[in-house]
Amino acid sequence: MGRMDSHGQDEQRVVWAVVDTGIGPLLLAATRRGLVNVVFHATDAVREAALRRLASRFGDEPVEEPGAPLLAEAIRQVRAYFAGERKEFELPLDWSLISGFNREVLQELASGVPYGTVVGYGDLAGRVGQPGAAQAVGMAMGANPLPVVVPCHRVVESGGGIGGFGGGLETKRRLLALEGVLPEPLF
């Protein structure tokens, strides 16, 4: 068992599941506080590495439990998003994998850049009071532990370039096409 809190519940317990989506398998992981991690391309090796990172961060082996209430709801919302039926995620988020400036930028992104819109790296930096920090915003996007749900795919270069993406540019294009920002890829 992991560390217990005052209610005798496992404070740090991490549950996870893999959901198949239009951009490949996504690993979703949650703590009692909320969704804590979303990992792209969650085939065996990627999934194992992600679970090892979570185990070392939370001090306990994550448990595969797609029926855990928070995860079941996250899976439902992710499926609805990829089916074009949901435009925003309404899930409790656990921000404990990220802190400082990166967390501030990602929280602004999560609350302030709606479905079907994009924002420039520099614009987002300005919104958190650091107008010169476009590059740092790029780093924050790369460090996003909750991609798709915290929509780093909506951050693009001001000159019209698509910008980088942890999940790969093809994935970013597909997400932006799903939201109607880009035309659907032809193939």
Considering the candidates 97, 150, 152, 155, report the single residue annotated as catalytic. Answer: 152
Amino acid present at 69 = P
152 is catalytic: yes
Residue 9 neighbours by CB distance under 10 Å:
10
- Closest alpha carbon to 154 in 172, 136, 167, 134: 172
Structure letter (DSSP) for residue 10:
B
Q: How far apart are CA 181 and CA 48, in angstroms?
A: 33
Pairing of strands 35-39, 24-30: antiparallel
What does the alpha-carbon distance between residue 64 and residue 45 come to, in Å, rounded to a whole number?
16
Tell me which residues are annotated as active site: 152
